[in-house]
Chains A and B, each alone.
Chain A
Amino acid sequence: MKYLILLLTLSACANVPQIDRGHLAKRMMSLDPRPQENSFKNEIRAFREGAVGGSSSVGGGCGCN
């Protein structure tokens, strides 16, 4: 429930018009500026830490034993 409230709160934030999003369009402002590189990082963390989740690596073998 607390996440739902948080989501609704976020969705009620003031809007930034598209014409003002020039800075947000830069690569450094992307939520994941290096997605392919991070897929390997997530793979390592998924198998070297007992805390998988929040990444794309949840199955499919690890290549690491």
Chain B
Amino acid sequence: MAVTKFSLFYLSVAIVLIISQIQVSLAEMMPKGKTKFKFLSNIYHQNGNDGTQVADNSGREEANVFEPMIFIETQISEHTAINADFVFDAWSAASDTKLDGFTGASGKGIGPQTRISGNFGLRQEYGSTEWHAKLGFSSEYDYRSFNGSVGASKGFAQDNFTLGLDLRYFADAVKLFQDITPTNTATISDYLPRQVLAISMQASQILTIKDIVQLSLDFVRATNNLESTASTVVIGGVREVESLPDSRARYSSGIKWVHGVGDSSALHLAYRHYFDQWGLSANSISSSYFISLRDDLDLLEFSARYHQQSQVDYFAKSFDVSHSGFKTSDSDLEDFDSYELGTAYAYTLGDQQVLNIDLENIVWDNGVNYAIRSNGLRYAYWQSSIGFEF
């Protein structure tokens, strides 16, 4: 098993390095010295009363998240750009108050929790070949991560066909509750290791002057301590922490078709199939209709998505005392159908001078989405961003 894992790892690294050596991608480069900046604010709310993993049997899954993001990219030479992104999360979750008498995982008293994360990257493009690399971190009370990624893409046949490959590795650590009986004095572990390796491949082909299609394949392997911090199960009427295997291999494949409808609108259709080592399989269909307004300055989007998944082999709403083996009641791992609708509008403000700085191509983008699942969870989020170049 170990040989297989390491062989796969080295094969992936070799493929990425080979493509990188070809020296080639299609991501657009800016003039030297130019900088792109974007501030994106996300506000998320979810609610539901059927979460069988919640420790106090209420099933309440209310959560509120505020997540501002900053994206920066600077062109430092004709062929090279450096970039960074930063994320700050603040959130509160009803289920957090049910463990240890404080905030569940946080143990810092009832109130919002926070997370910070950042990524720093480099991107180079020579002709029709591009390669990129990133290093990142993330930190919250019960989770921390150090991660890196490398990838490349190359255009063939005058860039009609593009092939891309990405490899990502996460060296994460998670705190898990060990003893939750009784729940108000639950004890949490120190950081426990978790690793995630992800390999993805994309291929796109221009079909006509108004059609492009993309295929994607993904493999993700997560190992060690894969339980969720606050998820519990009922065994013979008594709450205990969930128990899941130390390894999960996950596979997905997808296809996306973009079709221009007339001169000022476009239809995006996508399908994805997923299956994993825990017995969960899923199908997702999504569509978006984009309308270009004001001579392509503004963009209006209407989107819809349907997702259906089966439950993992270890899921049950409750377990008998005689049950042995892995067990979870996490509603995210249950079988359900999910329906999502959304709309967004990107408004171009153009060039403006702010504090004696000439800002170009200022775009203000707002969007809302609403989703409902057949197992009781509902969520909605609002996204608002302002982006510009200077």
A: which residues have CB within 8 A of B?
3, 6-7, 10-11, 13, 15-18, 20-21, 23-24, 26-31, 33-34, 36-37, 39-41, 44-45, 47-54, 58-65
- Nearest CB in chain B: distance from A28 CB, A: 4
- The answer to whether A40 and B104 touch across the interface, beta carbons within 8 angstroms, is no
- The answer to whether A26 and B296 touch across the interface, beta carbons within 8 angstroms, is yes
- Check: B227 CB closer than 8 A to any chain A CB: no
Give every chain B residue within 8 A of A33 (Cβ-Cβ): 290, 299, 301
- The answer to whether A60 and B230 touch across the interface, beta carbons within 8 angstroms, is no
The docked-state distance in angstroms from the alpha carbon of A6 to that of B204 is 11
- The answer to whether A41 and B369 touch across the interface, beta carbons within 8 angstroms, is yes
- Nearest CB in chain B: distance from A27 CB, A: 6
Residue of A17, A40, A50, A51 with highest tally of chain B CB at under 10 A:
A50
- The answer to whether B93 and A64 touch across the interface, beta carbons within 8 angstroms, is yes
Give every chain A residue within 8 A of B159 (Cβ-Cβ): 18
Closest to A20 in B: B209
Closest to A48 in B: B332
- The answer to whether A58 and B252 touch across the interface, beta carbons within 8 angstroms, is no
Given A28-B292, A54-B274, A60-B147, check contact A16 B115 (CB 8 Å).
no
- The answer to whether A49 and B338 touch across the interface, beta carbons within 8 angstroms, is yes
B: which residues have CB within 8 A of A?
38, 40, 42, 44, 46, 63, 65, 67, 69, 71, 89, 91, 93, 95-96, 104-105, 113, 115, 117, 136, 138-140, 142-145, 147, 156-161, 163, 168, 170, 172, 194, 196, 198, 200, 203-210, 212-220, 222, 228-230, 250-254, 256, 258, 260, 263, 265-266, 272, 274, 276, 278, 280, 282, 284, 290-292, 296, 299, 301, 307, 309, 311-312, 332-333, 338, 344, 346, 365, 367, 369, 377, 379, 381, 383, 385
- Nearest CB in chain A: distance from B122 CB, A: 17
The docked-state distance in angstroms from the alpha carbon of A64 to that of B67 is 11
